[in-house]
Chain A
Amino acid sequence: GAGVSQSPRYKVAKRGQDVALRCDPISGHVSLFWYQQALGQGPEFLTYFQNEAQLDKSGLPSDRFFAERPEGSVSTLKIQRTQQEDSAVYLCASSPLGAGRNTGELFFGEGSRLTVL
């Protein structure tokens, strides 16, 4: 497709389960970002990749959160031992520009809505 694709769109997990969220960015986009958006809040930065390199993971809230982009295209955000406070929409965004030239024009996917019971 032409846009950023995320799956699953909706995920319900029991507390303590592990989840994996997938992002397929726009083809050829160098930069990939994960954001977390809680209900009624703006997106909050989690982590950033330039190609396969994870250049910034300062926003990951705990060591239960892990992200990878092994071949510089598709990325997976994994959350281990999910907690209720992890309930949120997880947004993936990509940009054709690399670090140092990223002016903030991001193309977002529709998000994966995670509900932890």
Chain B
Amino acid sequence: QKEVEQDPGPLSVPEGAIVSLNCTYSNSAFQYFMWYRQYSRKGPELLMYTYSSGNKEDGRFTAQVDKSSKYISLFIRDSQPSDSATYLCAMSFSGNTPLVFGKGTRLSVIA
């Protein structure tokens, strides 16, 4: 079992839909949780960053961390075709340990 599990999709939704993306993890020592977005043939770019449990909102994006369930989520409201990309969850144990990524979920938002 990999440390971080993420359904690779693909996930296809109509424009305007609410999208829910999820990751589970096995090691309770993870403390820092991130979501990166990766467009085709580009490098990942940071979308959301959360420390420990809780919610964080930024515009149309909401990140949730439930450490008791070892489960993190990213919600995208009013999805747009420009949101079509691969979404990678990532986490780390501490400030000086490398990120561990999920395999990414490919999202297509259809106009």
Which residues of A are interface residues toward B (Cβ below 8 A)? Answer: 4, 33, 35, 40-45, 48, 56, 59, 91, 93, 97, 99-111
Task: Return chain A residues, CB-CB under 8 Å to B59.
Answer: none
Are the CB atoms of B95 and A43 closer together than 8 Å? no
Are the CB atoms of B98 and A45 closer together than 8 Å? yes
- Bound-state CA distance A105–B51 (Å) is 12
- Bound-state CA distance A40–B100 (Å) is 16
Q: Which of B12-20, B69-77, B101-109 contacts A (4 or more CB under 8 A)?
A: B101-109
Task: Return chain B residues, CB-CB under 8 Å to A102.
Answer: 95-96
Interface size class of B (residues with CB under 8 A): 20 to 34
Nearest residue, chain B, Cβ from A105: B46
Task: Return chain B residues, CB-CB under 8 Å to A107.
Answer: 46
Q: Is B34 an interface residue (CB 8 A)?
A: yes
A selection of 30 A-B contacts at a CB cut-off of 8 Å is A35-B101, A40-B8, A40-B104, A41-B103, A41-B104, A42-B4, A42-B88, A42-B90, A42-B102, A43-B88, A43-B101, A44-B101, A45-B99, A59-B98, A93-B43, A99-B96, A100-B95, A101-B95, A101-B96, A102-B95, A103-B32, A103-B95, A104-B90, A104-B91, A104-B92, A105-B34, A105-B46, A106-B46, A106-B99, A110-B42
- Bound-state CA distance A44–B104 (Å) is 12
Nearest residue, chain B, Cβ from A9: B41
Closest chain-A Cβ to B6's Cβ sits at a distance in Å of: 7
Nearest residue, chain A, Cβ from B88: A42
Which residues of B are interface residues toward A (Cβ below 8 A)? Answer: 4, 6, 8, 32, 34, 41-46, 49, 51, 88, 90-92, 95-96, 98-104
Q: A56-B98, A111-B41 are in contact. List 7 more A-B contacts (CB 8 A).
A: A35-B101, A42-B104, A45-B98, A105-B49, A106-B99, A107-B46, A110-B41
Are the CB atoms of A108 and B99 closer together than 8 Å? no
Closest chain-A Cβ to B95's Cβ sits at a distance in Å of: 5
- Bound-state CA distance A107–B49 (Å) is 13
- Bound-state CA distance A49–B83 (Å) is 32
